[in-house]
Amino acid sequence: MTSKLRCGLIGATGLAGQQFISALQNHPYFKLTALAASPRSAGKSYADALKAPNGMMGWFLTEPLPAEIAKMTVVAGAELTSKDLDLVFSAVEADVARELEPKLAKDLPVISAASAFRYDDDVPLIIPPVNGDHSSLIRAQQKARNIKGFIAPIPNCTTTGLAITLAPLEAAFGVQAVMMTSMQAVSGAGRSPGVAALDIVDNVVPHISKEEHKVEVETKKILGPAGKDHPVRVSSTCTRVAVLEGHTEAAWVSLKKKATVQEVAAAMREWKGLEATRNLPSAPPRWIEVLDDPFRPQPRLDRDVHGGMATSVGRIREDTVLENGVKYVLVSHNTKMGAAKGAVLLAELLRAQGFFGPQTA
């Protein structure tokens, strides 16, 4: 009989950490056995660590807080060790990740939602159906850093939806340039400090710090071969809108080979992604859903398709400005496929590829 892998979670009390708790609830491979947060939360039960000074419970998800998680005692991140764990999920900010993740990776696999190490040459940046074979970089990372574990981050949530839709176009026609404007949900900014209500209500905020750089750099790393950027030119404008969850993106793509609207739609509909991802527990039946309704996709209607793990695409049209141009609108769930559930999916893939394994009773 195979037992579940013992998982730690750093950044457990934040919004991203809560999303990990939800994504890992009743998972067939993984079980949360350690919750880590800031020193001020250490020693408290998880439920008590969530409470705000005014006594309000700081659990922000619509799913209920699991009773067994509420009772767990929170520890400081530095207290996590390989003695008690098989795997660590990281939901901390980049500056904290930069300090904690290398220490944990000496002995443990670290699957991270943070940006701290996304751009290191020996760190793979993986969306499992798109470039799951980039995991080969992990062995080089272990050798270069003389570590038993490794760091494997997921991309920025805005990059995820874009790269997933570009993958079938690259495979079928080649992609030479991309322009994208995002309309991003407020949940992407986290709960604290997040986006102030007076800033976002009745408004569009036309700048998100560092976001455009992340999209432009990460897309090239994901679409290229392992360890080498794709030559695609990427230009993005990232904005924040008054939507709770689900990033909407308008994309213009210059293809290497001219394709009709029907051919582009078919390429997306028929794309199956990396074969090794198709039967993973968190994998949807289809990675991309193409919609014919000209008023779709919409975040409220389409963000939760296949449990928030699919990217919905609509309004596929010819673009007459770009060479061999096409344009479309996508919606991707930023806190599911673009965050915690996407990280859990990556852990499932790396387990299937043999980078770590279950304990056998």
Which residue numbers are catalytic?
157, 247
Q: Are residues 177 and 37 in the same domain?
A: no
- Does residue 314 lie within any of the structural domains? yes
The confidence score (pLDDT) of residue 359 equals 44
Q: Are residues 122 and 172 in the same domain?
A: no
- Does residue 360 lie within any of the structural domains? no
Q: Are residues 265 and 164 in the same domain?
A: yes
- Does residue 358 lie within any of the structural domains? no
Predicted confidence band of residue 361 (pLDDT cuts 50, 70, 90): very low
Structural domain harbouring 187? 157-332
Q: Are residues 140 and 164 in the same domain?
A: no
Asked if 74 and 49 touch (Cβ cutoff 8 Å), the reply is: yes
244-294 pLDDT, tens per residue?
Answer: 999 999 999 999 999 999 999 999 999 999 999 999 999 999 999 999 999
What is the Rg, in whole angstroms, of the alpha carbon atoms belonging to the chain? 20
Q: Which residues of 62-73 are buried (b: 16+ CB within 10 A; e: fewer)?
A: eeebbeebbebe
Q: Are residues 127 and 190 in the same domain?
A: no
Q: Are residues 132 and 178 in the same domain?
A: no
What are the E-state strand segments in the chain? 5-10, 30-37, 74-76, 87-90, 109-112, 150-153, 175-184, 233-240, 247-255, 288-290, 311-319, 325-332
- Does residue 89 lie within any of the structural domains? yes
- Does residue 123 lie within any of the structural domains? yes
The tally of domains found in the chain comes to 2
CATH number of the domain residue 37 falls in:
3.40.50.720
- Provide the mean pLDDT of the chain: 95
CATH number of the domain residue 292 falls in:
3.30.360.10
109-145 pLDDT, tens per residue?
Answer: 999 999 999 999 999 999 999 999 999 999 999 999 9
Q: Are residues 250 and 281 in the same domain?
A: yes
What are the E-state strand segments in 163-309? 175-184, 233-240, 247-255, 288-290
The confidence score (pLDDT) of residue 2 equals 61
Q: Are residues 176 and 313 in the same domain?
A: yes
Q: Are residues 169 and 53 in the same domain?
A: no
Predicted confidence band of residue 52 (pLDDT cuts 50, 70, 90): confident
Q: Are residues 68 and 121 in the same domain?
A: yes
